[in-house]
Structure 1
Amino acid sequence: MRKKCRNIITYFAVLLPIFLAACGNSSSTSGEEASSYPEKDINGIIIWGEGGATDNISRTLAPLVEKELDGSLVMQNKEGASGAIATQYVYDQPADGYNLLFGAENPNLYQVLDISDRDYMNDFTPISIFGQNFGGLVVHKDSEFETIEDVVDFAKENPGELNMGYSGEGSLPHVAGAMLQAELDTEFNYVPYDGDGPLATALLGKEVDATVLSVSAAQEYVDSGDFRMLSVINDEAIETAEDVPPITDSYPEFEKYFPWGPFQGVFVHKDTPESIVQKLTDAFETAQEDEEFQQTLEDLGVVPLNINGEEAKEYVDKNRSTSAWMLYDAGAAERSPEEFDIPRVDED
């Protein structure tokens, strides 16, 4: 018996240094991952098609991040299913920091809309939230509608006849349309497109009568005179569209929804090593300080945020709560936010 005990003690005595060494090597390996990263091209997956706000901002920022990382960032558009195809694709890739998801607010609503099981809060880690945007109700320059009241009155008097373009379930125009329906009893014929870019093209070609675009995506068309912006989906005017009245000027009942708006950011799989998350975070944070990039955001009407870590998580979580309950209260959600433990903002 004593011999058996001695053998057991000897066995663990031999294994203990090996185990401790392995733990030490794990920490070292984590540091080595960051120091050698990136060793190959990084894929930047954009959830929308070309030409929209998320695409424009992401592609403007990418070369600045490349300089900080001393590596290549290969940007790709992978549109479809309101961004769920790109989101699932990045989630399915190895959690090694070589696949970044450049997205907007849509994945926050996949669960309540029954589009996908994926969402930012449970499946991804935010590297950075670049900025917050605002929506604007826009029409073609030749449109008969001169004010937001014209649009609302027509939609109420002619249910389902006004073609409202939108970029998929959970998109800005979808949520804004739900707000109009809930508060003003409007009824639109929704026509889907894969992102702000194709949606703007559709309005340019008069395929739709109106839509809600992010101000950043609509700005160039408004500046060129091709579109007219009738209202900003906000409770106050914004600097880049200061002559456009906020929706609350016409309909004060919308005040309860604000502050709210779309955002752009970059995310990685939740299981990505912390050392790589930190290296990416530092690179994106520094890159966004570039004066030309800041000017790009300003020109697009985007409020710069450049937040990361816990602050970014809290921001995304609040946006999810606001949007999910907004849709649910408007009767536009398939499932209750309560099913996914999403509290109302005032219950946080």
Structure 2
Amino acid sequence: MHMSLNKTLIVFAMSCGVLTSGSAWSADYPNKAIRMIVPYSAGGGADNAARIIAKTLGDTLKQPIVIENKPGASGSIGATQVARAPADGYTLLYDASSFSINPVLRKLPYDPLKDFIAVSKVVSSPYLMVVPTNSAYDSVKSYVDAAKASPGKLTFASYGIGSPVHIVGELLKQETGIDIVHVPYKGGAPALVDVMGGVVDTYFANAASAMSYIRGEKLKALATTAAKRSSDLPDVATMTEQGVKMDVSEWNGIFAPAGTPEPVISKLSEAIGTALKDPATIRQLNNLGMQVEGSSPEAFKSFIANELTRWDAVAKKNNIRLD
């Protein structure tokens, strides 16, 4: 009895020591620079937004946030690196919509829900259905009517098979029953050039990349894919307003490796929320055509789960698979 009590006390003391040690370690976080991996090329929309947020977030946490670009395979190469990183809060992933599309299209060495903790949704940006300024199409209906009259003749561009804008085009086909041809490019820039030149009929551009061309009258926006009209383009109706059920936006968010201690996640979440309230940060992100979001880890995890379910259904219905 006495021996058993001693063992119990020893175990209790050890557990208290572990908890105290863990709590002290968490309270000390962060005490060095944090790596934030952006799994896309430098200079793109996600990279530009990440650098704006990293500066303010670093100021909030009082440690530098160092951006590292690890592009390839629609973001899955960089995501894989973070999934395998130590779960200590010093390696984070800044990803975009491809995070919830890749798993339904290709085999990956990670599970998006099990191998990551969704820390916070950060920004969103609607897609704009754009056509050349001299295009005969002046509404979604006129495009859909033309596509129905000539099945397999009209085209839509994307920046790659399985990219978010490819999937949005497939969603348009699914919701309207039209037969249009997908023309994949190796990037958004060449796709936009060919849309402006009339080589392809339309493209779902994110607002950040298309806004300057629309203002310069080199592109014409037929619709926004978001639930509400853009404050930057109040005269451009939503897809839903034009009879096509669609509520899709490009999004960016921050993730940590699974197993990262809860106090660290909590501190990161709070710091991100603070950073996203900074007026200068909001202004810079708005100038990129992005709307500030911010969310709790629980809400962001639920959002990711819903996105995975939605895109899985679209991929299966349209028989899209990359491997």
Q: Same fold (TM over 0.5)?
A: yes
SS of 1:65's partner is helix
1:205 positional shift? 6.5
CA distance in 2, matches of 1:294, 1:202: 29
SS of 1:112's equivalent in the other structure is helix
- 2:114 corresponds to 1:134: no
Match of 2:189 among 200, 204, 211: 200
Q: Shift of the alpha carbon at 1:267? A: 0.4
Q: Any conservation in 2 of the 1:136–1:229 contact (CA below 8 Å)?
A: yes
State how 1:161-200 maps to structure 2 within 5 Å.
162=155, 164-169=157-162, 171-182=163-174, 183-193=176-186, 198-200=187-189
Q: Which aligned pairs between 1:303-314 and structure 2 lie closer than 5 A?
A: 303-314=291-302
Q: 1:130 deviation in Å?
A: 1.3
Mapped contact 1:172–1:212 kept (Cα < 8 A): no
- Pair 1:114 & 2:106 matched: yes
Residue 41 (structure 1) shift: 2.2
**Residue 249 of structure 2 is aligned with which of 261, 267, 278?**
261
More moved, 176-185 vs 157-166 = 157-166
Q: Aligned partners of 1:236, 1:224: CA distance in 2, in Å?
A: 23
1:285-296 pair list within 5 angstroms: 285-296=273-284
Q: Secondary structure at the match of 1:327?
A: helix
Structure (1/2) with the larger helix percentage: 1
Call closer, same or farther: CA 1:192–1:80 in 2, change over 3 Å: farther
8 Å Cα contact 1:160-1:189 kept in structure 2 = no
Q: Could you tell me how far 1:20 is from its partner in structure 2?
A: 2.0
* Count of matched residue positions in the alignment of Structure 1 and Structure 2: 317
- Residue type matched to 1:162 in 2? T
Q: Which residue of 1 aligns with 2:92?
A: 100
> What is the identity, as a one-letter code, of the residue corresponding to 1:304?
V
**Preserved CA contact (<8 Å) 2:33 2:65:** yes
Q: Residue type matched to 2:66 in 1?
A: V
Match of 1:280 among 259, 265, 268: 268
Unaligned runs of 5+ in 1: 1-5, 336-348
Deviation at 1:271, TM superposition (A): 0.8
User: Equivalent residues in 2 for 1:1-348 (5 A)?
Assistant: 10=3, 12=4, 15-139=7-131, 147-148=139-140, 152=144, 157=150, 159=152, 162=155, 164-169=157-162, 171-182=163-174, 183-193=176-186, 198-200=187-189, 202-204=191-193, 209=200, 210-234=202-226, 236-250=228-242, 252=243, 254-255=244-245, 257-258=246-247, 260-329=248-317, 331-334=318-321
Q: Which runs of 5+ in 2 are unaligned?
A: none
CA contact (8 A) 2:53 2:281 kept: yes
Q: How many Å separate the matches in 1 of 2:136 and 2:72? A: 32
Do the aligned partners of residues 38 and 333 (structure 1) sit closer, same or farther apart at CA in structure 2, a change above 3 Å counting? Answer: same
Shift of residue 134, structure 1, vs aligned partner: 1.2
Choose 1 or 2 for highest CA Rg: 1
d(CA) in 2 for partners of 1:131, 1:121:
20
Say what the alpha-carbon RMSD is for the aligned residues: 2.9
Sequence identity percentage: 24
Deviations 1:68-99 (A, max 9, x none): 11111111222211111111111011111111
- Counterpart-to-counterpart distance in 2, 1:43 and 1:225: 40
SS across alignment from 2:255: strand
Q: Does the 8 A contact of 1:236 with 1:248 survive in 2?
A: no
8 Å CA contact retained: 2:127, 2:207? yes
SS at match of 2:105: coil
Is 1:240–1:299's contact at 8 Å kept on the other side of the alignment?
no
Q: Give the Cα–Cα distance (whole angstroms) in 1 for the partners of residues 134 and 21 of structure 2.
A: 62
Change (3 A) 1:205 1:77: farther
Q: Output the CA distance in 2 between the equivalents of 1:99 and 1:16.
A: 38
What letter corresponds to residue 318 of structure 1 in structure 2?
Answer: N
Aligned twin of 1:340: none
Counterpart amino acid of residue 170 in structure 2? A
Given that residues 103 and 112 in structure 2 are in contact (C-alpha distance below 8 angstroms), is that contact kept between their aligned partners in structure 1?
no
Q: Supply the distance in 2 between the matched residues of 1:268 and 1:82 (Cα, whole angstroms).
A: 19
Q: For structure 1, which segment, 303-312 or 141-150, has the greater mean C-alpha deviation from structure 2 after superposition?
A: 141-150
**What do residues 239-265 of structure 1 show as CA deviations (whole Å, max 9, x unaligned)?**
222122322354x1x22x43x323211
